[in-house]
Amino acid sequence: MSDETFPVALAGKAWALPHLPFRAIKAIQPALFDLYLAAGGPAMSSDSVAKLGEADLEKLAEATWRAVSHVEPTFAYADFLDLPFSVGDLIAAFPAVAKAAGLRAADPATAEASPRPGKSISTP
């Protein structure tokens, strides 16, 4: 892994997420895939994202907090939820959380190909 980081900014706070360990990924990745599918998968649009329900937004908030709490371990989930950020801010954090969890955008030239062994699966 590289020293690459993925910036998340919410409510005037900023975190540089590293590549996350498997312990964090196994809790974050299922929620990210659920959200991706709920927002339309490959056909995702701003309209479909705007229609995400409370349960989906809760999953996104928890996944984001889990990623942030990896770099700030004493940051309680209740304190995270008390931060004054918008749904749009949380959705803007989604790509950085996904990248920190090892998910990468699909290369259109190889989107139909099966992932190589040892590589993270991709989301558009």
pLDDT in tens, 3-48: 899 999 999 999 999 999 999 999 999 999 998 888 888 888 888 8
Task: State the total domains in the chain.
Answer: 1
Mean of pLDDT values over 48-52: 84
What pLDDT sits at residue 45?
82
- Domain extent, residue 86, equals 6-100
> Is 46 a member of any domain?
yes
Which tokens belong to 75? 């940051």
Mean pLDDT of the chain: 85
What pLDDT sits at residue 39?
87
Q: What percent of the chain has pLDDT above 90?
A: 63
Q: In this structure, are residues 66 and 24 in contact, taking their beta carbons and an 8 Å threshold?
A: yes
